[in-house]
Amino acid sequence: MQITVNTPACVGAGQCVMAAGELFDQDDDGIVMLLEDSPDAAQQAGARRAASLCPARAIKIAE
């Protein structure tokens, strides 16, 4: 699995950090930071959940 984030689209509501704090964080301006672009098997459900909750559709997942 490969995760990419579209930072210009991010609205900074932090849904991704709540869903998968080990994969996503927010920088000092509140914008998403990808901590890990290739999640291991145990992290993939969190990645999918983050992508589905993101209100800006800023998280893309390639399986």
Q: Does 7 bind another protein (CB under 8 A)?
A: no
Given ligand SF4, another protein, none, residue 28, with its beta carbon under 5 to 8 Å by kind, binds another protein
Torsion of CA 9, 15, 16, 21, to 10 degrees: 140
Ranges within 18-57 binding ligand SF4 (CB under 6 A): 24, 26, 32, 54-56
| Residue 19-48 contact track with another protein, rule CB under 8 A, x = bound | x-x---xxxxxxx-----------------
Length of the chain, in residues: 63
Residue 58, SS3 per DSSP? coil
